[in-house]
Amino acid sequence: MPSAPLSGRTVLITGATSGIGHETARLLAERGATVLVHGRTADDAQAAADRLVATAGIDADRLRAFAADFTRLDEVERLAHRVVAEHPRLDVLVNNAGMAAPERHTITPDGNEIAFQVNFLAHYLLTGLLEPALTTGPGGRIGRIVNVSSSLHRTASIQWNDPNRARRYSRLAAYAQSQLALTVFASDPRVTAVSVHPGVCETALMSLYANEGVSPAQGAAHVVRLCDPATEIVNGAYYDREERVEPAAAATEDRTVKRLSKLADLLVGHTATA
């Protein structure tokens, strides 16, 4: 069992029921963190927590199950309120939940293209609502946010006048747009965040990239490194696995950051971050 330098720290991981998110939960819990395991449903989240106890020997007291379907922003709000109420100090938020855009153009009940909402808008809303927990502590300590992004953000453009891509839909373009938005969000001065491409891993998203990849555990190790307070981060930094590299130019442009926050505020229905 690895050493436990993260003892006493609390981490919320979205999309922690499988793939990189699940392995990130395992690695952080093994190092002593209390891990809030998010799943789409309460049953999914609890099953994932139980699996960590049964297969990895994680102490059940270090795991908490939380649920929200990211295709419904009201559930994201309820998730945030519950986390703040039960864990008023949150050290790290890992925005990991993601989906491949479907073949057919799909709109959520909130009126947003489904990949844009699940991969970006839900995380934007969640992050803003968790601000009270992320900024409590000695001296107004600010927790860190790790956005699990993708190298495909480099191929993207944000369709400002048609973010739902109703006029011209491509599943790859829709997915890439969501990843560019998530990467841009890490540069928002209101948060302390980084983005990481964990490599091409054998997960449900692999078909977007290649025919083979590394294990989710190998990808998760790059996420965990950025969760560690011993790893110094610069707001808005982008990592390709363990190497810090420059993201797409749009990801660090002040104008793009501000424009995206205005668009996201509009699409989630209110100003999510202070």
Residue 29 is encoded by which pair of tokens? 């819990």
CA 59 from centroid of its chain's CA atoms: 24
Q: Is-catalytic flag, 169?
A: no
Q: Do residues 131 and 188 make contact, with C-beta atoms less than 8 angstroms apart?
A: no
CA distances to 35, 115, 179, 199, 205 from 202, rounded to whole Å, are: 23, 20, 18, 10, 8
Q: How far is Cα 199 from Cα 213, in angstroms, rounded to an integer?
A: 8
Residue 7: pLDDT band by 50, 70, 90 thresholds?
confident
Q: Do residues 9 and 92 make contact, with C-beta atoms less than 8 angstroms apart?
A: yes
pLDDT, tens digit (0-9, with 9 covering 90-100), for 185-214: 999 988 899 999 886 544 555 455 445 556
Q: Per-residue pLDDT for 226 more than 60?
A: yes
Predicted TM-score of the model (pTM): 0.91
Average pLDDT score, the chain: 89
Catalytic residue among 175, 209, 238, 239: 175
DSSP lists the bridge partners of residue 201 as 214
Please state, as a whole number, how many other Cβ atoms lie within 10 Å of the Cβ of residue 81: 12
| Range scoring the smallest mean pLDDT among 2-16, 47-61, 133-147, 203-217 | 203-217
